Structure formats: structure tokens, C-alpha cells
Structure 1
Amino acid sequence: MAKRLPLILLLWLGTDLYFYQAVRPFVNSSAWLWAYWLIDLLLMSGIVAVIFVRRGSRTQQTLIAWLMGLMLLAWVPRLFSFPFLLVEDITRLFRGFPPRVLWVSELTLGTAAVLFLLVLFGITRGRHFYRVRRETIYFPDLPEAFDGFSITQITDVHSGSFTNGAGVQKGLDLVNAQQSEVILFTGDLVNNHASEMDRWIPAFAGLTAPMGKFSVLGNHDYGDYIQWASHDAKDANLTRLKQVHAEIGFRLLLDEAITLQKDGQSITLLGVENWGKGGFHKYGDLKRATATVPDDAFKILMSHDPSHWEAVTLDHHQHIHLTLSGHTHGMQFGIELFGFKWSPIKYVYKQWAGLYRNNGRFLYVNRGFGFLGLKGRIGMWPEVAVITLKRK
């Protein structure tokens, strides 16, 4: 982050200087203008402070969470409304730069006000604004007994970020309301410590599904992002987290496969440990998980990181019909309207939210149940996914 700091500060200052052109015609008081720049000074000071706080400490996490919310609240309205100023300046360039037209400044500020309210909703109420997303996927070789089989998937709980019991319970009630045959959880139950789940064990134990609840680990579950007193302490934390999965009634799959039976027919459910491209650990072993699985079995894979799909799963010698992932959170920030979706995370992950298909193999990337870093969600709402399998 330290290397990127000058660029961040330069981009921030440039955006604010430009947006200031819209504000100035409406502000005659020097006190208000000083307040405008004081907000930026405080936020930039906070960015610098994060660098010098102990990595992974609770203080750093709290500071980052507040900064992310305030930065988005201050910057997003300016960033997405100043194109109006830019268009006007292009026309002014050919007109000898006359004074700005007042209605353009009014339009810019009006747009910024709307965006300000949207961001404010996201960081105050968006964290528990759960949405149910449904997909029906057709397979020619789906066993007949599983035609219409329903899966509810949740992912990225990040229980260490939760504070509102009623808000979390609203999401869990929504999961149960789907009445799916199975509930699948695809990783990141905690931020770092297994103890983060202690308060939430009774609530998550209340999730029910007639054919069972199953889970895998995500990158945050291993405790790789904080400093531990010893390797034994880190190992003990992971052991405890595995126990927590059992206490909330989830069968944790660690590079293994189980068979789901229905009316004399079966499908195979696979679960691998976290495997991710880039700087993420590659704990998972798909070959090990499928070692005893027949080639002609219908297979559903739980793999936390969607990069595993293109890097490993698509080239696997066995046909993996459906992969369920999470990890991206949709960056907890984006736009989804009328079938259009966008988030900055798309420039990092090719598959980042929703359903993808490649040569008869499907990947569904869940936007996540919880939140991390930013204490909210803006436009990329927390998700309960319901996937129905149909036979062609």
C-alpha cells in the first residue's frame, strides 16, 4: 500500500480539485470551503496512519473499516458526477472558456447528492440488505431423481465483522425460508480467529436442510493474515474452527467427496480446501477429492476461490458439472441494474459474480453473506443463492 500511496493521494486530490469547481459557485462562506478541504485532510491523514499501525491488529482493522466507508462516502459522489463538468469543459474549450453555466453545477451537485444517499444507505443498512438470487441450470446427464433438486448456497460469512444479531438472523431466516434439499457454505466463516464464531454458533446451528449442510474452508479461515504467538497457536485455531463447523451442523469437506442419495440414484458432492491464484495459498487438491469418484458420476464442487475453476477445474480429467464459489464479495461495491452488472473487482477476477458456463461446465460465484473491511455493501448486496438443477 505504501508504494501506491502517492498515486492514491494524487488521484484523490485531482478529483477534489475538479469537483470543487462545481461547489464554488454555491458557497460564499470561507468557513464552508475550509470544511470542504479539512475533510480531505483528515481522510488522507487516516490513510497514512494505517501504514504505521500494527498489521492485522484490531486497531488497524477498525481504522480501515471506518476509512473505507468515509472515503467512499466522500469520493464516490464526486467521482461519478464530475463527468458533467468534463463534458461542459470540452465545450468550453471551443468557446474560449466562458464562465460555467449554473445549471451544470446544479446537475453535478444533484447527482452527487443522490449518490451520497446511496452510499450512506450502503454503509449503514446495506450490510444486512439480503437478496435472494435464483438460477435454474439444465444438465442432460442429471439423474432423474434429482430433477428439480434445490441448493441454497451462502458464502463469506466473516462472522468477526458482525455486530447486529437481528440483522444476521434476518439473513439466516431467509436461508431457511428457501426450503432447499441441501445448504452449502463455500468458505470464510471467520476473518481470522475461530473465536469470532462463538457468539453466532446457536444462530447458524438453526439452519436446516433435509439432506444436510456441507461446507469448505476459505482463505481467511486458515489464519494466514495475522501474526500468531507460535505455529501451535495457529494450528490450534484451525482445529477449533473445524470443530465449530461440526457444532453448527455443517459437514466440512477437506479435499474429499460424499454421495447424496435419492430414490436409488446419486450425485457426488466434492469439497476442496482453498486454492487461489496470485498471492493466495493453494491448499486444495482436486485430484485427491476425486480419487475414488467414478468418471460418470454427476459432480458438484465447492471451491471457495473462483480462480480455481479456470486454472484447475476446467482442465480436470473428470467432468465437474457445477462449481460453487465465493471469495470476491463483488467487492461489496458495484452496480446491478436491468441485467447490467459492474464492479471494480471485474478487473481482478474474470468470474466475479453470478453464473458462468464453459463447454457444459458451470460456475456460480456468490456475492457473499457477510462483509469484510468496508462495514457495509453498496449496490452489491449480501446474497442467498438458490440453484435448481433440472434435467434436459
Structure 2
Amino acid sequence: MNQLGGIIFLTAVFLFSTFLNWYVFQAFKTILIGLESEKVRQLSFISYWVIFGGITLWVIYTFVRIFQAGEISADHQQVLNVFLTVAVTQLVCTAFLFGEDIIRNIQAGISLVFNGKAATEFPTRVKWLSVLALTVSMIPFSSFVYGIAKGKYNFTVHREVIYFEDLPEAFDGFTITQLSDIHAGSFKDFEAVQKGVDLAKAQGSDLFVFTGDLVNHHAEEIEPMIPIFAQIKAPYGQFSIIGNHDYGDYVSWESAAAKQENFEKFKNQHERLGYRLLIDEHTKIEKEGQFITLVGVQNWGVGFQSKGDLEKALENTSTSDFKILLSHDPSHWDQEVKKHSNKIHLTLSGHTHGMQFGIETPLIRWSPVQYRYPNWAGLTSFEDKFLYVNRGFGFHAFSGRVGIWPEITVIELRKK
């Protein structure tokens, strides 16, 4: 981000935070207005602005540090946790107050037109509604606190059975465990990571795949956890691809050579993990004399570097081959894969994290990320071609998960 862009961004953050702080202050003021002690009232008002104004300045200072460092560190993540928790909590409270203000304005307009009352007799805020607004806003506050403390390690298994008419008979019932978006640099609790890996191992799948973003920025971030993730083994092998974070594009390097050295080290880490890194290539998985083709491409995404070369990866494959593609960004499926003349039966992706925030129930399925990615989590299809988007194993920027839990995917292939 250039200097002008940074100034505009910081100004927007300041104005947004100040607006929310001011609006929520109206609820506090309405509730405390009945206090007999003027001194207590004033002290409460001052305390409010010291706390929330201080948080705003702390967040802006942190964004300045992020811009200077060129990356989001663990310390930065903690500040972003506070910012998001406070902002979402205040937004819920503000929604109630804003709705009340609309009604108050309508009442004032009616009174002025029909009763001729002066505008100075504007309806006052209702105390019970301010209490309700603050009470309801505790729901997202509690959710974010849980998401930061526990939710990011609430590893959940998602299972899908997918039927194909042209699946080779030998692969009927074949299972694949998928992990994605480990973001190793964000993890601090290695015991919790081990529990997630144990859950992945317990699935006992035939094949294991990892669909990109092993690290945040630096190859060495995975070092402490190589003994953990290297425990994942499958009878038909472990395979991986490159995600957008794995290139080291989001951090400042001393030189191009230093960046390339980091990338070469990153590729070597996959060997140490026991994963075969597929870089715009394919391999055959054989079972009982029959084959499926596993294809892996570099990152290809709308709005991100599109380095993946699908044509190269598909060289010497036949349209009759049963193919599974590992491609980090699901926008690749939308833009290129699903209408490709060389049919790809199943694409496995990640990248979105489900934005680490949302609601997933039998009745409601929503995340802000859906306005950027129409296929942001789970299974979708187009003309007998399928895409599965993993919600991610780790986390980044926001050090937590609210409603969108870290995922271990198990896909079972079945013949129609």
C-alpha cells in the first residue's frame, strides 16, 4: 500500500471507530442520565472516552506498525482481535440505536407537521432500548472472546460423499482427507495443533492432500511443527500445492535473492513433511490396476497472483481420465476449471477461511466472505463437476474463529 493509500485507510479507520464510539456513548449516556451524582456521571463519561478512544488510537498505531513492517506479527494480531471484537460489538449496539433514531425522526416530523411543535421538542431516547441494545451486543462480544480463546482450535470434521458415473470401479469408496491454510506463523499452542492433526490422522483416509498456505510469510514458520504435521500418512500418499501466502509476496525482503532463498526453503519443507509438492503437474494414483489422476497447480486467483498453469499441469492427460485438481483459490474453478474442455471431475480448494467469521446452521449459512467469493465453503457443482472449499485449518490476521470453525475435510468417492 502506498503512502496516500495508507493515509486514506487510517483516516477511514479513525472516522469509523469514532462514529461507533460516539453512537454507543449515546446508550451509556441515556442509561446513566438518571444518576443523582453528577460527579459519578462525569467520571463514567470520561472513563468511556479514555477506554474506547484509547483503543482507537492503539489500533491506528498498530496499523502504522504493520505498514512499516510489511507483515502482520503475532503482536499485531492481538490488537486486531481487540479492534474486531469492539467494532462488531459496537455495530450491533449501533444498529438498535440507529433504528431508534429513524423512529424518533419520523415522530418529530409528524409532530411538527400536525401539531406545529418546535423542533426543539425532539423525542428523547428510550432508556429500555439502550439497555436492550447493550445487552444484545454482549452476544457478539462473548462470541468473539470465545472465538479468540477456544474457537480457533475447535477442529471440526466435514464429510462429503460424492458420486461419479465415470469413477473407476477400484476407487469406489476411496477416501481423501484434505487440510488447507495451516498458516503456521499464527500458531502458538502446539498442543492444540497436535489435537487437530490427531483428528485428521484418525480419519484413516486412503489419500491426504494439503491445498496451500502452509505459512504466513516465512518458510521457517513451519519448523516447530514439522514433527507434528509429518505424522499424517496415507496409504496412497500425501500431496500438497502452493497458496498465495507461500511465495512470501506480503513481506519486505532485503533482496530478490533472499526471497527466492526463502521460497526454495519452503519447497524443501514439504519434503521434510513427507508431502509431494505438485507444481503445475500431475501424478497417477493406482489401485488394483486402475488409475485416477491427481493434478496440482500453483496459486491462481482473481485479485491475487495467477501463477498456476493448468494447461501445463494437464499435459499428456486424456479427457477420459478421472481427474482431481488441487487449486488453492476457488475463484480458479469459477473462471477456468469448471468449463475446461479437459474435464476435471473434482477440485479441492481453500483460501477463503470462511473469513473466520459467520453463521452456519441448518437454516442459516452466512459469512461476509460470500460477497467476495460465491463459493466460500463446502461443496458445489456444475454439470457433474464438483468443487469443495475447505474452511482452513489455521487462521491469519484475526487470531480467532467465530462460527466458522477450523476444518478437516473427508471426501468419499463413490460410483453411481
Contact 2:357/2:404 (CA < 8 Å) preserved in 1? Answer: yes
Residue 394 of structure 2 corresponds to residue 370 of structure 1 = yes
Secondary structure of the structure 2 residue equivalent to 1:34: helix
Contact 2:279/2:296 (CA < 8 Å) preserved in 1? Answer: yes
Contact 2:24/2:90 (CA < 8 Å) preserved in 1? Answer: yes
1:16 to 14, 17, 21: 21
Q: CA RMSD in A?
A: 1.9
What whole-Å deviation, never above 9, does each CA across 1:142-192 have from its counterpart, x for those lacking one?
Answer: 112212221111100011111101110111011011111111100011111
> What are the ranges of 5 or more consecutive residues in structure 1 without an aligned counterpart?
none
Deviation at residue 139 of structure 1 after TM alignment: 1.3
Residue 209 of structure 2 corresponds to residue 197 of structure 1 = no
Equivalenced residue count is 391
Instruction: Letter of the 2:86 partner, please give it.
Output: A
**Range with bigger deviation, 105-114 or 297-306:** 105-114
Deviation at residue 60 of structure 1 after TM alignment: 5.2
Write the distance in 2 (CA, Å) between the matches of 1:67 and 1:245: 32
Q: Paired residue for 2:268?
A: 243
Contact 2:59/2:83 (CA < 8 Å) preserved in 1? Answer: no
Instruction: Letter of the 2:30 partner, please give it.
Output: P
> What are the ranges of 5 or more consecutive residues in structure 2 without an aligned counterpart?
1-5, 36-40, 109-121
Write the distance in 2 (CA, Å) between the matches of 1:180 and 1:208: 9
Deviation at residue 137 of structure 1 after TM alignment: 1.5
Residue 28 of structure 2 corresponds to residue 3 of structure 1 = no
Write the distance in 2 (CA, Å) between the matches of 1:126 and 1:236: 35
Write the distance in 2 (CA, Å) between the matches of 1:56 and 1:301: 38
Secondary structure of the structure 2 residue equivalent to 1:208: coil
Write the distance in 2 (CA, Å) between the matches of 1:167 and 1:13: 37
Residue 67 of structure 2 corresponds to residue 76 of structure 1 = no
Q: Matches of residues 122-141 of structure 1 in structure 2 within 5 Å?
A: 122-141=147-166
Structure-2 change in CA distance of 1:363 and 1:153 (3 Å): same
Secondary structure of the structure 2 residue equivalent to 1:39: helix
Q: Paired residue for 2:114?
A: none
Write the distance in 2 (CA, Å) between the matches of 1:319 and 1:83: 48
Q: Paired residue for 1:152?
A: 177
2:243 to 212, 218, 221: 218
Secondary structure of the structure 1 residue equivalent to 2:338: helix
Contact 1:146/1:262 (CA < 8 Å) preserved in 2? Answer: yes
Q: Paired residue for 2:337?
A: 313
- Rg larger for: 2
1:121 to 141, 146, 164: 146
Write the distance in 1 (CA, Å) between the matches of 2:85 and 2:42: 23
**Range with bigger deviation, 58-67 or 292-301:** 58-67
Q: Paired residue for 1:277?
A: 302
**Range with bigger deviation, 65-74 or 54-63:** 54-63
Structure-2 change in CA distance of 1:248 and 1:339 (3 Å): farther
Write the distance in 2 (CA, Å) between the matches of 1:103 and 1:283: 56
Instruction: Letter of the 1:235 partner, please give it.
Output: Q
Q: Which runs of 4+ in 1 moved over 4 A?
A: none
Instruction: Letter of the 1:13 partner, please give it.
Output: T
**Range with bigger deviation, 53-62 or 236-245:** 53-62
Deviation at residue 339 of structure 1 after TM alignment: 4.2
Instruction: Letter of the 1:15 partner, please give it.
Output: L
Deviation at residue 108 of structure 1 after TM alignment: 1.0
Write the distance in 2 (CA, Å) between the matches of 1:241 and 1:56: 24
1:184 to 171, 184, 209: 209
Write the distance in 1 (CA, Å) between the matches of 2:20 and 2:64: 26
Q: Paired residue for 2:104?
A: 92
Contact 2:181/2:350 (CA < 8 Å) preserved in 1? Answer: yes
Q: TM-score, with normalisation over the residues of structure 1?
A: 0.94
Q: Paired residue for 1:38?
A: 50
Contact 2:70/2:251 (CA < 8 Å) preserved in 1? Answer: no
Residue 350 of structure 2 corresponds to residue 345 of structure 1 = no
2:127 to 99, 102, 113: 102
1:356 to 380, 387, 405: 380
Q: Paired residue for 1:143?
A: 168
What whole-Å deviation, never above 9, does each CA across 1:41-83 have from its counterpart, x for those lacking one?
Answer: 2233234324543647388534531222011221111212333
Contact 1:2/1:51 (CA < 8 Å) preserved in 2? Answer: no
Identity of aligned residues (%): 45
What whole-Å deviation, never above 9, does each CA across 1:215-239 have from its counterpart, x for those lacking one?
Answer: 0011111111112222222222111
Q: TM-score, with normalisation over the residues of structure 2?
A: 0.89
